């Protein structure tokens, strides 16, 4: 008999005024009892629309049925058949626009908490002696992956399971990409990401860190080293700045720098070798998940006032609903319909404020969203000592500049077909933010997965 | 892990290390740099590649002990390993078509100017190398610089080696004596590079400076190293580190360089406290 409660089982979380002073995970996850009860809300419907909403097609009703029976390890194995990083996706996917948006229970009430159940299962398996995967027998073919972010990790995992000898080349000293340097500890504990990466190592994936493809070696040199197919998952790591006067003053960060110092270099820890500016009044410019992460980090670093400065209205905020909600609870102040005009600084070049302008929404632009237009005479100044630019990133030019024959578009994104990740250069596949520009973790994973299948076909056809 | 193959003390607080890093040695060119982390919890710091050997896979770095990380690095010995060592990073210097140049190095900057001079010298270029130090006790790489230049002028601020004055004095003297330089390459503290650029500006001599900004990743993903060049924002780690000295906004770059001064001082104090505790335990 299914559980007909119209609401999701709530997930326990740290109280807002406690958690905004620490970097520990905000949400605490289901207990086994909660998971079983929530799992019983799934109707196991015939056409399974939830699966079509998942970029990596996790067998959702099947794993949830196993959870309802208390077979948690079996449920974990079921998810792992199609997803390389369930503990990550269960936490950071925007389920409200993916699997859960398609859930039949969402028509009259709240959808089944698929993300929370996925997370529970992955955490349970990690903590209760999940069996180590065994490296499959080698098929004798070598593949290279450029970039150890979600796209590259997924592609590597799938190729390794097919028997390929896979090497992942990563420029930073830690694998994981944005999962390690971008998304903060309080949303995605780094130990969990590391565990998922270790699972790939058990599958035989080799990681070469501190290796900048384009500088240490080029794509063509990797082919010369014997790699038969190469997947480029180098992301979109090049930050955009505000383009207003004063943006190079001391105290103006890109969100990438601010988050890298905190997450990757652990500058939030007392006595860290990597310094960070401890600001009192911070404005984060932007409205995406990165802006929410930067604002919530700034609060946890001790800032008294943290503003989100966004040029459209609340309705257009691109960040996940859950994270906007968390940010508000933690005391982040939202300044909607506000655009920066100038960063102000003192004679020592330190930030003292930001001149802003009020906006109103005009006609829709090419993206279909109503374009913000300045309200004349509405300028005002925010007193600040730190400004964080979270207005987007684009692909790093290094690979396109050093790879002849690899076509990119006007925005510097690699041109690759969506279905297979095939690029203009023979044997080179690409996916994730390097192709789409900044998007989501799960879309990058989906692209990595499809490219792995296409690389397998490409190598088999060559023989 | 990247093993220290050789360690040499050049002066009281300047050390040379040869590191086993074949991936870096294979592609390194003069003007490029590496980023290293001494230990698992360490910060990432940029250092210029002072020399490299493609056959043995060895890369030479020269550093001055100015803060917590360089002190920790200096405390390591031959056989010890660095946790991370990534490169080559940045653009290689462009020397095409140069026939006669003046290379100007200031203090530790001489360690970076040296490979540039060496490469130019090997290309058959006439190289006047002007090296500046506070006093004669801290002069480094004298023999190497001599071998890499047509004329070597070592200046000391206090005249303790017999040649008193700043590098800018010698440079102006050489220009006024009628030397026609295709370019002046200046490497050292920002204040020195700024003044060298001011010396050459009225003569219209192309001046290339190597910008030593604060860096984190060194691959273009954060913009911590950004500076203003000709009114535009550039990232020193990918667009440089070499830039046209006549276009760089040195004043703002210097103020950005001082951003973490207080925290840098605390880190040194923490390190010294730790060392003192350690000494007490040994007793």
DSSP result, A126-186: HHTTPPPPPPPPP-S-EEEEE--SHHHHHHHHHHHHTT-EEEEE-SSSSS-THHHHTS-TT
Residues present in chain B in total: 283
Q: Residue B104 — φ and ψ, nearest 5°?
A: -115, 120
Contact assessment for residue B129 and residue B152, using Cβ atoms and an 8 Å cutoff: yes
Per-residue model confidence (pLDDT) at position B54: 95
pLDDT, mean of residues A385-399: 94
Per-residue model confidence (pLDDT) at position B274: 66
Per-residue model confidence (pLDDT) at position A84: 80
Closest Cβ opposite residue B222 in set A210, A216, A257 = A257
pTM of the model: 0.93
Q: Which burial class, exposed, middle or buried, applies to A226 when counting CB atoms under 10 A from its CB (0-12, 13-18, 19+)?
A: exposed
Of the two residues B176 and A56, the one the predictor is more confident about is B176
Q: Which burial class, exposed, middle or buried, applies to B9 when counting CB atoms under 10 A from its CB (0-12, 13-18, 19+)?
A: exposed
**Do the Cβ atoms of B87 and A216 come within 8 Å?**
yes
**Do the Cβ atoms of A273 and B41 come within 8 Å?**
yes
Query: pLDDT tens across A346-384, in order?
Result: 998 999 999 999 999 988 888 778 889 999 999 999 999
pLDDT, mean of residues A401-420: 93
pLDDT band at residue A420 under the 50/70/90 scheme:
very high
Kindly report the number of other CB atoms within 10 A of residue B69's CB atom: 24
Q: Tell me, what's the ipTM? A: 0.91
B234 close to A (CB below 8 A): no
Per-residue model confidence (pLDDT) at position B111: 87
CA distance A94 to chain B (A): 25
Angle subtended at Cα A177 by Cα A303 and Cα A186, rounded to the nearest 5 degrees: 35
Preceding omega of A318 cis (within 30 degrees of 0): no
Is residue A326 pLDDT above 80, yes or no? yes
pLDDT, mean of residues A222-233: 97
pLDDT, mean of residues A28-49: 95
Per-residue model confidence (pLDDT) at position B276: 57
Query: pLDDT tens across A130-179, in order?
Result: 778 889 999 999 999 999 999 999 999 999 999 999 999 999 999 999 99
**What's the whole-number average pLDDT of chain A?**
94
Query: pLDDT tens across A248-280, in order?
Result: 999 999 999 999 999 999 999 988 899 999 999
Per-residue model confidence (pLDDT) at position A462: 86
How far is A182 from A388, CA to CA, in rounded Å? 14
B42 close to A (CB below 8 A): yes
Residues of chain B with pLDDT under 70: 274-283
How far is B283 from B277, CA to CA, in rounded Å? 10
Give percent above pLDDT 90 in chain A: 85
CA distance B196 to chain A (A): 24
Inter-CA distances, A49 with A43, A98, A115, A138, Å: 12, 10, 15, 36
């Amino acid at each position: 008999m299914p559980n007909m409660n119209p609401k999701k089982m709530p997930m326990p979380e740290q109280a807002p005024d406690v958690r905004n002073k620490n970097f520990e995970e905000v949400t605490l996850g289901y207990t086994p009892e909660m998971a079983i009860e929530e799992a019983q809300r799934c109707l196991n419907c015939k056409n399974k629309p939830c699966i079509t909403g998942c970029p990596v097609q996790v067998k959702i009703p099947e794993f949830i049925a196993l959870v309802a029976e208390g077979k948690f390890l079996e449920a974990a194995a079921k998810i792992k058949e199609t997803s390389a990083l369930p503990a990550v996706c269960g936490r950071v996917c925007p389920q409200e626009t993916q699997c859960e948006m398609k859930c039949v229970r969402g028509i009259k009430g709240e959808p089944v908490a698929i993300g929370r159940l996925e997370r529970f299962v992955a955490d349970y398996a990690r903590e209760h002696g999940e069996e180590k995967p065994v490296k499959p027998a080698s098929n004798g073919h070598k593949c290279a992956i450029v970039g150890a972010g979600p796209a590259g990790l997924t592609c590597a995992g799938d190729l390794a399971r097919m028997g390929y000898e896979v090497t992942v080349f990563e420029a930073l000293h830690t694998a994981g990409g944005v999962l390690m340097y971008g998304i903060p500890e309080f949303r995605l504990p780094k130990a969990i990401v590391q565990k998922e990466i270790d699972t790939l190592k058990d599958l035989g994936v080799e990681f070469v860190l501190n290796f900048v493809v384009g500088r240490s070696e080029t794509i063509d040199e990797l082919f010369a080293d014997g790699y038969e197919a190469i997947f480029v998952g180098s992301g979109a790591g090049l930050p955009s700045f505000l383009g207003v006067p004063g943006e190079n003053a001391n105290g103006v960060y890109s969100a990438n720098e601010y988050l890298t110092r905190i997450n990757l270099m652990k500058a939030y820890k007392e006595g860290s070798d990597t310094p960070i500016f401890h600001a009192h009044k911070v404005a984060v410019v932007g409205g995406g998940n990165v802006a929410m992460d930067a604002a919530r980090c700034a609060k946890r670093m001790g800032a008294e006032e943290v503003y989100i400065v966004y040029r459209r209205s609340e309705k257009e905020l691109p960040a996940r609903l859950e994270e906007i909600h968390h940010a508000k609870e933690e005391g982040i102040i939202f300044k909607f319909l506000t655009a920066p005009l100038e960063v102000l600084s003192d004679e020592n070049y330190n930030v003292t404020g930001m001149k802003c302008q009020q906006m109103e929404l005009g006609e829709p632009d090419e993206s279909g969203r109503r374009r913000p237009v300045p309200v004349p005479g509405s300028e005002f100044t925010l007193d600040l000592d730190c400004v964080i630019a979270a207005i987007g990133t684009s692909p790093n030019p290094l690979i396109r500049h050093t790879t002849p024959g690899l076509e990119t578009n006007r925005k510097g994104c690699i041109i690759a077909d969506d279905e297979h990740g095939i690029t203009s250069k023979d044997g080179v596949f690409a996916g994730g933010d390097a192709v789409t520009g900044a998007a989501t973790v799960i879309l990058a994973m989906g692209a990595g997965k499809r490219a792995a299948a296409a690389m397998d076909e490409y190598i088999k056809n060559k023989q | 892990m990247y093993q220290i193959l050789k360690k040499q003390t050049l002066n009281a607080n300047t050390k040379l290390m040869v590191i086993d890093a074949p991936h870096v040695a294979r592609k390194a060119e003069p003007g490029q740099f590496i980023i290293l982390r001494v230990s698992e919890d360490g910060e990432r710091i940029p250092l210029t590649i002072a020399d490299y050997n493609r056959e043995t896979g060895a890369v030479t770095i020269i550093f001055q002990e100015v803060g917590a990380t360089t002190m920790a690095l200096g405390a390591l010995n031959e056989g010890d390993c660095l946790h991370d060592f990534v490169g080559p990073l940045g653009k290689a210097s462009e020397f095409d078509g140069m026939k006669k140049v003046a290379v100007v190095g200031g203090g530790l900057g001489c360690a970076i100017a040296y490979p540039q001079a060496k490469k130019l010298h090997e290309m058959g270029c006439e190289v006047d190398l002007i090296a500046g130090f506070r006093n004669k006790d801290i002069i480094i790489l004298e023999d190497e610089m001599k071998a890499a230049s047509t004329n070597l002028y070592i200046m000391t601020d206090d005249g303790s080696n017999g040649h008193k004055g700043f590098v800018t004095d010698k440079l102006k003297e050489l220009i006024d004596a009628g030397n026609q330089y295709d370019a002046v390459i200046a490497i050292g503290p920002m204040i020195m590079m700024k003044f060298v650029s001011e010396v050459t500006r009225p003569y219209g001599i192309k001046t290339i400076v190597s910008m030593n900004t604060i860096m984190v990743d060194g691959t273009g993903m954060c913009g911590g190293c950004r500076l203003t060049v000709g009114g535009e924002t550039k990232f020193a780690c990918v667009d440089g580190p070499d830039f046209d000295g006549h276009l760089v906004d040195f004043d703002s770059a210097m103020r950005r360089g001082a951003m973490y001064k207080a925290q840098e001082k605390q880190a040194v104090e923490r390190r010294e406290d730790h060392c003192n505790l350690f000494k007490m335990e040994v007793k």
